[in-house]
Structure 1
Amino acid sequence: MTFLETLLDPFQYQFFIKGLVAALLAGGLCGLIGVFITLRGMSYIGHGLSHAIFGGYAAAPLLGIPIVLGAGLWGLASALAINAVTRRHRIGADAAIGVVTTASFALGVALLTKFGNKGPAFDSLLFGSINGVSIGDLLLLGGVFLGTIAIFTVLYRQLLFSTFDPEVAKVSGVNVGLMDTILMVVLSMSILATLSIIGVTLVAATLVIPPVVARMLTDSFGRMLWIATALGTAAGAVGMYLSYQLEIPSGTTIVLVNAAVFLVVLLLKGAKGLGRTAGLDDHTDASATGLVTASAPTRA
């Protein structure tokens, strides 16, 4: 077999084509929504919600509920619970995430241990799998991706304003609580749709690394969205291809590709690029603040 034939060999298999399309969608989706999550200083929530949804994956088959429906409702309930606890009680977001999601993950492990696995393979759920992608997974990913783009397009100004300055946004007439809830719903659905490709333990990295790299490359919030989405998509494609060639889980290779891109950009940009990321959790980026002020909705 020639070198070119070796390179093109994966594309003759239907399961690889489906996996590649899924990886493209999953990477782009995580990169897009990861910008909002990272800028809100809630990077940990992606890790937490993926563990919470794992509990739904384990419980749904035992209850006779379709896995996607059960895991989706479980993840959505966890996201809303975290949001409610954070807003109404004197508990930080990280603490709320830790309590809700670790309990859900532990329940999932307990159910699997007691009753056995009646759903997707345990290893596939943890690390993702190129072999486990179905047409249903592709439809779910595509639907969530298109829905996310539509929501972010329609609510762009409100989400942007509530992300950088929620107090001023509230005074200006933005329903910050509703924006937080919408973002949590989109995040939980995105994690649910990407778990079969990326896995429970690694999805947080795909939500964080592309936005961080994008922030190292630009001061513009709009360009940050485009760059993070493009980086996530490219890393998904390359990672899926390497997953086939190296015979290791797809989630692992996708995260390693993301990490390699981060290191390359870090070497090219040095301290200046890394310094830009210091303000992510503080929401103090000057150009972003100016953009928020310029596009902020006003009360009638």
Structure 2
Amino acid sequence: MWDLLDPYSYEFFVKGVVAATLAGALCGLVGVFIVLRGMSYIGHGLSHAIFGGFAACSVVGANYYVGAGAWGLGSALAINAISRSRRIGADAAIGVVTTASFALGVAMISIWGSRGASFDAALFGSILGISPTDLWVLTGVTVFTVGVVVLRYRALLFTTFDPEVAGASGVKVARTDALLMLVLSLSILTTLNVIGVTLVAATLVIPAVVARMLTNSFAHMLVLSTAIGATCGFVGMNLSYHLDVPSGTTIVLTGAAVFLLVLAGTGGRRLSRTARSAPAPVRPEETVSLP
């Protein structure tokens, strides 16, 4: 028992646990909208696209949050525009943009070297990479995201389920989509040191998928996904220390274990919920349950 509590005597570990719990909750909350919109691949691609901004900041020694944040937001808006386009397959276009950005980042660091944050920490996550500044920024983004969801709940709900009808009903769909992309890019940006570029997409998707298997209610899904993400972050960070494995890896594996347990407990047919589209159009002022 005391062995489990030993790491809490280290300040860096306590900061890591707090950061992992916040990161899991943040990704779980945002992940609900990503999963229900069928944007899981966008979340995966954006995490790789942001790495290009991370690399550029590392090479020139610029502030990580400013440079990578601008890069990530621009990539998010571009990806969102591509996903709405019907001229070419969105998945193919996103694949080209994001993998090119990721490859550019690797090339820049290989040629000019890194002057900033750890390359490995950005790829796989590391409790050693958590600074007080990272923790404060993560807390701020989490509070901002909760505020956006609460204040723009009906607009986000309506555009998630039926953007065409939402637009016809007076909802500013483009503005709402841009706000969601901002939240998504900030969420990925602030969780890289905890989870890593290669695994952050899983923390966006797994809690939301598990919550979708457990409830039909959209509001309940938001709460469940946030709680599941926070729990996986907390447990995964503790396992990371004891197993001497990167934090992102253990957080994702913890989420995968939860997914398998829920899948076994609810039956495989419940998983089909996550592949289904939104319900019939509803008015934002109505209480909505998922099909």
TM-score with structure 1 setting the length: 0.92
Give ranges in structure 2 of 5+ residues lacking alignment: none
The residue type equivalent to 2:229 in the other structure is G
Aligned to 1:82, which of 66, 79, 88?
79
Residue 268 of structure 1 corresponds to 265
Residue 43 of structure 2 corresponds to 46
Shift of 1:85: 3.2
For residues 120-140 of structure 1, give each alpha carbon's deviation from its aligned partner in whole angstroms, at most 9, with x where no partner exists: 222211110011100011011
For residues 31-80 of structure 1, give each alpha carbon's deviation from its aligned partner in whole angstroms, at most 9, with x where no partner exists: 00000001000101111111111111111133342112111111111111
List aligned pairs for 1:1-300, cutoff 5 A: 4-87=1-84, 90-279=87-276, 282-284=277-279, 292=284, 294=286
Residues 291 and 272 (structure 1), Cα distance of their counterparts in 2 relative to 1, 3 Å cut: farther
Shift of 1:99: 2.1
The residue type equivalent to 1:283 in the other structure is A
The residue type equivalent to 1:19 in the other structure is G
Shift of 1:205: 0.4
8 Å CA contact retained: 2:154, 2:285? no
Shift of 1:295: 5.5
TM-score with structure 2 setting the length: 0.95
For residues 277-296 of structure 1, give each alpha carbon's deviation from its aligned partner in whole angstroms, at most 9, with x where no partner exists: 231xx224x7xx65857269
Query: Helix, strand or coil: the match of 1:143?
Result: helix
8 Å CA contact retained: 1:76, 1:188? yes
Q: Taking every aligned residue pair, what percent have the same amino acid on both sides? A: 62
For residues 250-278 of structure 1, give each alpha carbon's deviation from its aligned partner in whole angstroms, at most 9, with x where no partner exists: 00000000000000001100134223223
Q: How many residues align?
A: 288
The residue type equivalent to 2:197 in the other structure is V
Residues 228 and 49 (structure 1), Cα distance of their counterparts in 2 relative to 1, 3 Å cut: same
For residues 158-201 of structure 1, give each alpha carbon's deviation from its aligned partner in whole angstroms, at most 9, with x where no partner exists: 11001101111111000111111111111000000000000000
Query: Helix, strand or coil: the match of 2:5?
Result: helix
Give ranges in structure 1 of 5+ residues lacking alignment: none
The residue type equivalent to 2:207 in the other structure is P
* Rounded Cα–Cα distance in structure 2 between residues aligned with 1:84 and 1:256: 32
* Rounded Cα–Cα distance in structure 1 between residues aligned with 2:90 and 2:172: 19
Residues 295 and 266 (structure 1), Cα distance of their counterparts in 2 relative to 1, 3 Å cut: closer
How large is the RMSD of aligned CA atoms in angstroms? Answer: 1.6
* Rounded Cα–Cα distance in structure 1 between residues aligned with 2:282 and 2:269: 21
Query: Helix, strand or coil: the match of 1:232?
Result: helix
